[in-house]
Structure 1
Amino acid sequence: MIREEYQKKCVTADEAVKVIRSGDWVEFAWAASVAGLLDEALARRKDELYDVNLRGGVLLTPLACIESDPTGEHFTWNSWHLGGRERKWAQKGLAYYIPLKYSELPRYIRENLQTDVVAIQVAPMDEHGYFSFGVTVSHYAAAIEKARNVIVEVNEDMPRVHGGYDHMVHISKVDYIVEGGHRGLPVLPSAPASEIDRQIAAYVLPEIKDGACIQLGIGGMPNALGQMIAESDLKDLGIHTEMLVDGFVDMVEAGKVTGRCKNLDRGRMVYSFAAGTQKLYDFMRDNPSLAGYPVDYSNLPFIASQIDQLISINSALEIDLTGQVCSESAGPNIISGAGGQLDFVEAAYHSKGGKSFICLPSTFKDKQGTVHSRIKGLLTLGATVTDTRPTVQFVVTEYGKVNLKGLSTWQRAEALISIAHPDFREGLIEEAKKLGIWRKKSK
């Protein structure tokens, strides 16, 4: 019976995308999950469609439909979190950012947004008629609830994952099935850790105790910390994170992860989406120690904070002397997005024994080679505040770590200047004086 239904719904990509109409909003692609055949078929319909809005984010591969339409007259990309390719589109007026707190995304879809079509990539159907969402659970179930039509593109290489709930869709809720064969998954190489990344990670590592539960962001510093954890004497760690990356696999293979101390999902590694190398995707395939959840479970501070010793490690672009953190824009120019950073900053602090870390190198070089401090008197004009100053706990650079919780403005200024690059400290003191947040007795 299920196989008969499968055959009835199985069509070509060109046939499937005919359900997309001008003016539609389409939930389309996220990170390592991109329905390539549907993308190419939609691009072929360009001239007969207008004002189609596609939603997704963290793209690792090109989208033919967006790149086939340099005027943006036919397709517009609306991103939940911009990657490098999406930033370039945004500069051309072909892509726009959707501000979000990631844990709230399924609710946005259910209560606030128009969703006409879902066109996503899935793992092959099982004998019970279920398609696993594979490496992206995130918000797909919520989008399917709202959609007029649901199209799935089956990738034979997509790992079938174990989950908590809302990590799969039954064939009865699917309108069209497109068989994609073996298409592989896009690789996101682990960012190499610099010496500064390792110095920063070395300040964080002593704060992690046996039995802690780890959330890591992406980038060189979290990667360095993952490697250091794998080489450490730590034991019985847990994992509860937004994004599953290669660093977690290293920790598991080193025997550091058991999850036996977790208050929730004991013995299982919780995540909402994954992107990395083939090592990660192979690790995920039918792995019962993993639990893929929608993001309103993985990231919701109320849930995550119930886990004791939750350790959250995230990066930032700049921070001002009162503790406001920008992690998503360079001035008014959007770089990525808020993602789930604020979710985990809040969750880790409210966890019993938990700690939240914002990590950043003390300086950066601009295109002209001039060095600037990432710790500033005021954020760059137009910069987005990702984490408000009351929410920030530990801030770490290669020059040390400080805990801002409960500090007054002059204490915050003093603490942050103490971990700024030495070449900028005197200038920051002068800025603090002008801002009225420097005490004469301060060091």
Structure 2
Amino acid sequence: MSFQDIYKQKLVSAKEAVSVIKSGDWVDYGWTTGTPDVCDQEIAKRLPELEDVKFRGGILLKEPEIFKIDHPEKHMTWNSWHMGGIERKAIARGFSFYSPIRYSELPRYYRESKDPVDVAVFQVAPMDAHGYFNFGPNASHMAAMCEKAKVIIVEVNENMPRCLGGFEEGIHIKDVTHVVEGNNSPIGQLKGSGPATEVDIAVAKQIVELIPNGACLQLGIGGMPNAVGSLIAQSDLKNLGIHTEMYVDAFVDIAKAGKITGLNKSIDKGRQVYAFGAGTQKLYDYLDNNPECMSAPVSYTNDIRSIAALDNFISINNAVNVDLFGQVSAESAGIKHISGAGGQLDFVLGAYLSNGGKSIICLSSTFVNKKTGKLESRIIPTLANGSIVTDTRANIHYLCTEYGCVNLKGLTAWQKAEAIISVAHPDFRQQLIDQANAMHIWKNSNNR
């Protein structure tokens, strides 16, 4: 029997496919651009008849229909591996919860966890001549999740880019339970946060000066890392490599500027390696059938050993707050949840272990409090009560604001406090010095 014949046998309507879902099930919605569309619509119609359905997914690019039913908290929970804005709003509605884990551990977690995957439903690219559906820019943990799933429903979308890899970037028709042909709507886009601000550009300039020719880059999500990418594209840097968790639009700009060759990489030479990609259509068009780009599971991309094996590895990630002990919070502001652990700590550790590598945490020195309208410092004496420590004080390497970059590795408590205060906004420095002194982490020095 040909693969096309098997395809036709397994082809059903979305309504029929999702009829297998029952109360109490764990239902996996895939990841980012792979979140289902027409199947989601049908599940939303059934959900009011069900109870305690536990969905899993992450980084939603549009609000699922299951979120829009009356009183979703009575019928479901959404359990996110990484929060975005849509999911943050659902927290307040009482049905969305974060699942804390180092992102790199997800494939192993799926394979070893006692929690079932009763139904997996997600979007894929059309089946190829060899019977494979490509996960699109979502290799991430998808193969491991499918290994665990009792029922696998693939929703085919012709707009899903076919992202090449080498392993765990797709699923074969023989392993699929049902095939649903979607409406081929455009896949979700992750829009930028607007043009780079003057502060973003000032921070980016500080960071670009730390990057040598031949470096291997990882950029986190957010306006500031994207500003770094834009400046790299305009710089004189050359022979750069890419090994990242998330592939973002900035990498496309850097590549099209001729800065990326990957020839200095000791592993995956010449290839841009990533666990998932989310951005604008420009990004999806670039990744589609591009042999230079390598879609790989997150257990590989974020493995500290993979990162450390790459010389001159430069990791660039955002933070919400940093305190005077060097603790980094990139997940919450107090108890207000923002994102998740992701792979930041993996790259912080791996980049430092790299020969010539640098881990860089960047943030604007201040922000305007929306409630009070007052300027507040992102560098604070201690993290606010309830804030999540993403990177411990022992692991921070470089810290960059618009006022400079400082290497904090190995400094004593008073040296570290002094260095951190030196890149704080000038209006807050004396206050921070006084607070550091009260906490016994300040030594009178020449620059006081």
Amino acid at match of 2:25: D
The answer for the alignment partner of 2:430 in structure 1 is: 426
How many Å apart are 1:281 and its aligned residue? 0.7
Amino acid at match of 1:435: M
Q: Is the 8 A contact 2:244 2:302 kept in 1?
A: yes
The answer for the alignment partner of 1:409 in structure 2 is: 413
CA distance in structure 2 between the aligned counterparts of 1:189 and 1:23, rounded to whole angstroms: 35
SS of alignment partner, residue 26 of structure 1: strand
How many Å apart are 1:21 and its aligned residue? 1.6
Amino acid at match of 2:442: W
Amino acid at match of 2:45: R
Question: More deviation in 47-56 or 251-260?
Answer: 47-56
CA distance in structure 1 between the aligned counterparts of 2:24 and 2:329, rounded to whole angstroms: 34
Scaled by the length of structure 2, the TM-score of the pair is 0.97
Cα deviation 1:96-117 (Å, max 9, x = unaligned): 0001111111111111232211
How many Å apart are 1:278 and its aligned residue? 0.8
CA distance in structure 2 between the aligned counterparts of 1:47 and 1:414, rounded to whole angstroms: 57
The answer for the alignment partner of 1:277 in structure 2 is: 280
How many Å apart are 1:366 and its aligned residue? 1.0
CA distance in structure 2 between the aligned counterparts of 1:67 and 1:336, rounded to whole angstroms: 22
Amino acid at match of 2:135: F
Amino acid at match of 2:88: R
CA distance in structure 2 between the aligned counterparts of 1:21 and 1:295, rounded to whole angstroms: 30
CA distance in structure 2 between the aligned counterparts of 1:305 and 1:242, rounded to whole angstroms: 14
The answer for the alignment partner of 1:165 in structure 2 is: 167
CA distance in structure 1 between the aligned counterparts of 2:70 and 2:144, rounded to whole angstroms: 29
Q: Is 1:388 aligned to 2:392, yes or no? A: yes
Q: Is the 8 A contact 2:48 2:69 kept in 1?
A: no
Q: Is the 8 A contact 1:66 1:76 kept in 2?
A: no
SS of alignment partner, residue 87 of structure 1: helix
The answer for the alignment partner of 1:287 in structure 2 is: 290
SS of alignment partner, residue 391 of structure 1: coil
How many Å apart are 1:51 and its aligned residue? 0.5
Match of 1:249 among 244, 252, 255: 252
Q: Is 1:301 aligned to 2:304, yes or no? A: yes
The answer for the alignment partner of 2:218 in structure 1 is: 215
Amino acid at match of 2:62: T
Q: Is the 8 A contact 1:119 1:150 kept in 2?
A: yes
CA distance in structure 1 between the aligned counterparts of 2:62 and 2:3, rounded to whole angstroms: 33
The answer for the alignment partner of 2:228 in structure 1 is: 225
The answer for the alignment partner of 2:379 in structure 1 is: 375
Q: Is the 8 A contact 1:66 1:72 kept in 2?
A: no
Q: Is the 8 A contact 1:46 1:69 kept in 2?
A: no
Q: Is the 8 A contact 1:133 1:160 kept in 2?
A: yes
CA distance in structure 1 between the aligned counterparts of 2:339 and 2:262, rounded to whole angstroms: 31
CA distance in structure 1 between the aligned counterparts of 2:30 and 2:87, rounded to whole angstroms: 12
RMSD, aligned CA: 1.0
The answer for the alignment partner of 1:36 in structure 2 is: 37
The answer for the alignment partner of 1:58 in structure 2 is: 59
CA distance in structure 2 between the aligned counterparts of 1:66 and 1:139, rounded to whole angstroms: 24
How many Å apart are 1:15 and its aligned residue? 0.4
Moved over 4 A (4+): none
CA distance in structure 1 between the aligned counterparts of 2:421 and 2:188, rounded to whole angstroms: 41
Amino acid at match of 2:158: E
CA distance in structure 2 between the aligned counterparts of 1:439 and 1:422, rounded to whole angstroms: 19
Q: Is the 8 A contact 1:9 1:175 kept in 2?
A: yes
CA distance in structure 1 between the aligned counterparts of 2:416 and 2:188, rounded to whole angstroms: 42
CA distance in structure 2 between the aligned counterparts of 1:26 and 1:351, rounded to whole angstroms: 39
How many residues of Structure 1 are paired with residues of Structure 2 in the alignment?
443
CA distance in structure 2 between the aligned counterparts of 1:70 and 1:412, rounded to whole angstroms: 49
Q: Is 1:144 aligned to 2:141, yes or no? A: no
Cα deviation 1:357-400 (Å, max 9, x = unaligned): 00000011112211111111110111000001111100001111
Q: Is the 8 A contact 2:190 2:278 kept in 1?
A: yes
CA distance in structure 2 between the aligned counterparts of 1:169 and 1:29, rounded to whole angstroms: 13
How many Å apart are 1:213 and its aligned residue? 0.5
Amino acid at match of 1:332: I
Q: Is 1:118 aligned to 2:106, yes or no? A: no
CA distance in structure 2 between the aligned counterparts of 1:100 and 1:92, rounded to whole angstroms: 23
How many Å apart are 1:65 and its aligned residue? 1.0
Aligned ranges 1:330-369 → 2 under 5 Å = 330-367=333-370, 368-369=372-373
Structure 2 unmatched runs, 5+: none
Amino acid at match of 1:211: G
Amino acid at match of 2:394: P
SS of alignment partner, residue 74 of structure 2: coil
CA distance in structure 2 between the aligned counterparts of 1:22 and 1:200, rounded to whole angstroms: 50
CA distance in structure 1 between the aligned counterparts of 2:347 and 2:445, rounded to whole angstroms: 36
Q: Is the 8 A contact 1:236 1:260 kept in 2?
A: yes
CA distance in structure 1 between the aligned counterparts of 2:384 and 2:220, rounded to whole angstroms: 23
Amino acid at match of 1:210: N
Cα deviation 1:294-342 (Å, max 9, x = unaligned): 1000111111111111100000000110100000101011111111111
Amino acid at match of 1:375: I
How many Å apart are 1:440 and its aligned residue? 2.6
CA distance in structure 2 between the aligned counterparts of 1:236 and 1:2, rounded to whole angstroms: 42
The answer for the alignment partner of 2:89 in structure 1 is: 88
Q: Is the 8 A contact 1:332 1:381 kept in 2?
A: yes
Q: Is the 8 A contact 1:66 1:75 kept in 2?
A: no
CA distance in structure 2 between the aligned counterparts of 1:41 and 1:100, rounded to whole angstroms: 30
How many Å apart are 1:69 and its aligned residue? 4.1
How many Å apart are 1:71 and its aligned residue? 4.2
Amino acid at match of 1:92: R
Q: Is the 8 A contact 2:38 2:183 kept in 1?
A: no
How many Å apart are 1:441 and its aligned residue? 3.4
Q: Is the 8 A contact 2:66 2:72 kept in 1?
A: no
CA distance in structure 2 between the aligned counterparts of 1:71 and 1:124, rounded to whole angstroms: 32
Scaled by the length of structure 1, the TM-score of the pair is 0.98
SS of alignment partner, residue 319 of structure 1: strand
SS of alignment partner, residue 19 of structure 2: helix
